[in-house]
Structure 1
Amino acid sequence: MRRINGGGVIEETCPSWCAGDHQDDQATDLDDLAHSSTVTALQMRVNAAAPSPLLSAAILQSPYEDVTSERVTPRAPYVVFAPSDDDFTIELDADGLADVIAQIRQHADRLVQVRNQLMALRTGMKGTAAMSDGL
């Protein structure tokens, strides 16, 4: 049961994927109700620092959202994508998320190339050191 600003009560059944507790949904406007999934993120640890979430994604849905919303399909589930933890987010539909996935895969391939180059450089340094040791 949920109390609505201006009076009234509604009983909302969460979709199976909703992981939200809806504690903040009481006594708000109906269009503020939002379902949210668990957040999926790459937990990037740099040096000894605490891990920072990168490339976070979560499904959200506002079932009573104003239909004049700027979203392509108001009231439909969408993904909130946050490249980093600095409060910058992007709202995506399935096609938009597919584009992000393709870009991440391409970037992962570039990272493999950088790793391979680093390994070659380090191997070359070991070879150079070994040759100079033999002189």
Structure 2
Amino acid sequence: MTNKTIAPQTTEQAPAVEPRTITYPLKTGGSLTSTCPPWCTYDHTDDVARGIDPDNLFHQGDKIAAEYSVDGVEMSILEARIAQWPFDPDDGTPHIELVPEGRTAVGVYCRNRIELDDEIRRVRAHLGALIELGGQLGEAQAADHARNHRGDLTPWLSLSRIDLQSLPIAYLLRAFGVTVVETEDIGCKAVSALYGDPGAMELRIKPDMSQYMREDRARHHLLDWYEAQIGGDRV
């Protein structure tokens, strides 16, 4: 793999419906007729208008990227697209341009599927670490809430809808004073039900319910209580 700076296009890309055969004037005189591969959506208008050297003929597909906005500025990371310099004397085969941070336009060239898979594993490992970091964030915010409301008899009143959606369910059950009871007698035609008022609530669940389902149903019931008792525009 090698690093190379990709110059930005001066014109917008236009999707190609079918392979295009284009005749380019050559800067050294004469012309070159070449057919774009089916995946190429690069706008060659400037190439035709200005002329090219054969080594600079470039094919490029649509990009994929994780895009987001920061203070109204559009940003992107992990940009990737298929590309080809068909007359490159060193390597004219299709490859993947992977640009980790969009603003730099500096990319890693993955010359084959094995090299691309290596980068995919790297990204998956990062996403796994990011998920773990999210768990740490939830625990840290729960600890912060507990510290700031130590001795508060109604700690649930300071919890927002987002808190109920994101904080660890074990902490939410403590904050609401919920006792979990495994029983076949739910008291209604459901797999779980929440009874009572905060500070003395009882969550009834079926004994054979999985841990994932228990946490999901508990969060669901607490959110239902929130919408019924507080709700409104508060988030």
- Whether TM exceeds 0.5 here: the answer is yes
Supply the distance in 2 between the matched residues of 1:8 and 1:98 (Cα, whole angstroms): 42
- Which amino acid counterpart does residue 43 of structure 1 have in structure 2? E
Q: Percent identity?
A: 26
For residue 82 of structure 1, give the secondary structure of its aligned residue in structure 2.
strand
- Which amino acid counterpart does residue 105 of structure 1 have in structure 2? R
1:65 Cα deviation after fit: 1.4
**Residue aligning to 1:103:** 122
**Residue aligning to 1:52:** 75
* Alignment pair present for 1:9 and 2:31: yes
1:91 Cα deviation after fit: 1.2
Supply the distance in 2 between the matched residues of 1:35 and 1:87 (Cα, whole angstroms): 17
Asked if the contact 1:45–1:51 (Cα under 8 Å) also holds between the matched residues in 2, the reply is yes
- Structure 2 residue runs of 5 or longer lacking an equivalent are 1-22, 154-235
For residue 111 of structure 1, give the secondary structure of its aligned residue in structure 2.
helix
Asked if the contact 1:4–1:29 (Cα under 8 Å) also holds between the matched residues in 2, the reply is yes
The structure with the greater share of residues assigned to strand is 2
Supply the distance in 1 between the matched residues of 2:85 and 2:124 (Cα, whole angstroms): 30
- Count of residue correspondences: 127
Supply the distance in 1 between the matched residues of 2:97 and 2:152 (Cα, whole angstroms): 56
Matches within 5 A, 1:30-45: 30-45=54-69
* Alignment pair present for 1:132 and 2:151: yes
Deviation readout 1:57-101 (Å, 9 max, x if unpaired): 1211111112xx2xxxx1100111111121322111222221111
**Residue aligning to 2:109:** 91
**Residue aligning to 1:77:** 94
Q: What TM-score do the two structures reach when normalised by structure 1?
A: 0.84
Asked if the contact 1:5–1:30 (Cα under 8 Å) also holds between the matched residues in 2, the reply is no
For residue 38 of structure 1, give the secondary structure of its aligned residue in structure 2.
coil
Supply the distance in 2 between the matched residues of 1:116 and 1:51 (Cα, whole angstroms): 27
Supply the distance in 2 between the matched residues of 1:49 and 1:97 (Cα, whole angstroms): 32
For residue 55 of structure 1, give the secondary structure of its aligned residue in structure 2.
strand
For residue 134 of structure 2, give the secondary structure of its aligned residue in structure 1.
helix
Supply the distance in 2 between the matched residues of 1:28 and 1:121 (Cα, whole angstroms): 58
Q: What TM-score do the two structures reach when normalised by structure 2?
A: 0.50
* Alignment pair present for 1:61 and 2:84: yes
Supply the distance in 1 between the matched residues of 2:40 and 2:139 (Cα, whole angstroms): 47
- The counterpart of 2:47, out of the listed 25, 28, 31, is 25
**Residue aligning to 2:221:** none
* Structure 1 residue runs of 4 or more that deviate by more than 4 Å after TM superposition: none
- Structure 1 residue runs of 5 or longer lacking an equivalent are none
For the aligned residue pairs, the C-alpha RMSD in angstroms reads: 1.6
Rg comparison, structure with higher value: 2
